[in-house]
Structure 1
Amino acid sequence: MPVSAQDTVKWVFTNYPPANVQTQGGHFKGFLHDIVVEVFAEGLNVKVDIAVYPWKRCQAMVKDGTADIMVTIPTPERLEYAVTHTRPIWIKRRILYTYRDHPKIHDIQRLSGLPSIKSGGYTVISYIGNGWVENDVEGVGIAVNYATTVDGMYRMLAAKRGDIVIEEKSLAAPRIAEQGLSERIVETDGIGSESGFHILISKKSSYAALVSRIDREVESMRSRNRFKQIFSNYGMADPN
């Protein structure tokens, strides 16, 4: 499929700083934002049109083809309606957060991996639409309590409505601080898991035919250390 400056790819996401966010002034930023815009706008000469929705709706829009792309973990369920490139654009390493006076906080500090969370009988708090939690965490038999939003997830933890939140530090720390919960929520040395994030393209989108070109653009950015440069702009080390 030929591409031109008039072509536009529709990307849907939920505000998730510092990965991707719409500011109060209506501008977009974030390390995933910068990567996706470089792949499409600079690599393929395709304008990126962004819309912000609840995460569950974002996934439904990519599934039914009313949106072209989203950036997330390519679970088996998502790959039934989307295609993607070979290697991730971001590896999300998740650590464990708990509330400050948790009676088993010292045990949580030593947890490593989902089997240890399950064997300890801990309840995880997440948000509706988190496919990784639904598939990988609930899927192995760990109890999960869901909030309707990402911010609500942290408020639930502060209110002791579960034991732990499993999240990447660069995503969790700003949200916890912004909500004034830094004195009530503790970052631990416990480890949950890690997952690769990809650009997922709806199988109903015309851009699905360009997945091999998208793959080449991603690898070109990697070879030119563009991921390292973009992550450093947000005070992060390149996790890839």
Structure 2
Amino acid sequence: MSIRIKILFALFLLFAAEEPARSQDAVKWVFTDYPPANFRTEKGDFSGFFYDIVMEVFQQRLGIRVDISVYPWKRCQRMVECGEADIMVTIPTPERKQYSVTHSRPIWIKRRILYTYREHPRIHEINLINGLASIKKGGYRVVSYLGNGWTEKDVQGIDIPVTFATTVDNMYRMLAAKRGDLIIEEKVLAAPHIVDLGLSKKIVETNGVGSESGFHILIGKKSAYASLIQALDREIEDMRKQGRLEEIFRSYLFSQSN
């Protein structure tokens, strides 16, 4: 066999060995179950409005396969920070911006309203609350879940007392057991949990409002896909202009124009 043929054969083997790895390249997305934003169904399928958005923007528009893994929320954040995972969907806090990049405008605006337990002695006052400052002034105790960075920074950070549950479901159980005064949560996220846990007679939605904040797709700076942030931003804005974001939200029985 001539040297030229040997070289060509070696190159063929090299490219053949690389091809399976290329075909397996994928964006690794990590999240904790948070219906109806992103969750795993009883059949084991993935669903949620974040799921629909992420799959469309990466797989359909950018042509990159998405691999999903479900972990506790604190672990998800650590994985993106250290480069074990590529993306997560959450609020781009100053801390998270240190290890991730994101697009210009949120894909979803979360309007957090107040929930309390039925027959709370101050329920009429809670109905009038507008903002975290009023919660602090009223001396209310908030119930949240471990890994909720927004609660840790914005709520606990201004000295509002917080009791943390180990999971999202346990957060609702704790409020129903009167182990706190309030849960601050988006209605579309809270309502299904309350119903599924059989707590509709123990937890009530109020007219009080906690705050609003925007959710983004965050790509870890250590990810090989961090350089796609401009393309990601372009595709998300295109989905917004085409009405796809609103269409996805409406498919989950709510509307949000942002």
Q: State TM-score, norm by structure 2.
A: 0.90
Q: Give the structure 2 partner of residue 107 of structure 1.
A: 125
Query: Which 4+ stretches in 1 moved above 6 angstroms?
Result: none
Q: Give the structure 2 partner of residue 137 of structure 1.
A: 155
Give the C-alpha shift of residue 26 in structure 1. 1.5
Q: What do the CA deviations read for 1:95-149 (whole angstroms, capped 9, x no partner)?
A: 0000001110000000000000000000100000000000001111111000000
Relative to structure 1, is the Cα distance of residues 89 and 180 closer, same or farther in structure 2, using a 3 angstrom cutoff? same
| Counterpart AA for 1:42 | Q
Q: Give the structure 2 partner of residue 122 of structure 1.
A: 140
Q: Give the structure 1 partner of residue 115 of structure 2.
A: 97
Residues 1:54 and 2:64 aligned together: no
Q: Would you tell me which structure has more helix in proportion to its own residues?
A: 2
- 1:62 and 1:201 in contact (8 A); partners too: yes
Q: Give the structure 2 partner of residue 38 of structure 1.
A: 56
Give the C-alpha shift of residue 7 in structure 1. 3.3
Q: Give the structure 2 partner of residue 63 of structure 1.
A: 81
Counterpart-to-counterpart distance in 1, 2:122 and 2:184: 16
Instruction: Decide which structure has the larger Cα Rg and report it.
Output: 2
Q: Give the structure 2 partner of residue 226 of structure 1.
A: 244
Q: What do the CA deviations read for 1:59-114 (whole angstroms, capped 9, x no partner)?
A: 11101110000000000011111110000000000000000011100000000000
SS of match in other structure, 1:12: strand
Q: State TM-score, norm by structure 1.
A: 0.97
Give the C-alpha shift of residue 23 in structure 1. 1.1
Unaligned regions of 5+ residues in structure 1, if any?
none
Unaligned regions of 5+ residues in structure 2, if any?
1-21
Q: Give the structure 2 partner of residue 207 of structure 1.
A: 225
- 1:5 and 1:47 in contact (8 A); partners too: no
Q: What do the CA deviations read for 1:33-65 (whole angstroms, capped 9, x no partner)?
A: 000111100111001100001111101110111
Give the C-alpha shift of residue 239 in structure 1. 4.3
What is the Cα-based RMSD across aligned positions, in Å? 1.0
Give the C-alpha shift of residue 238 in structure 1. 1.7
Give the C-alpha shift of residue 6 in structure 1. 5.1
Residues 1:191 and 2:209 aligned together: yes
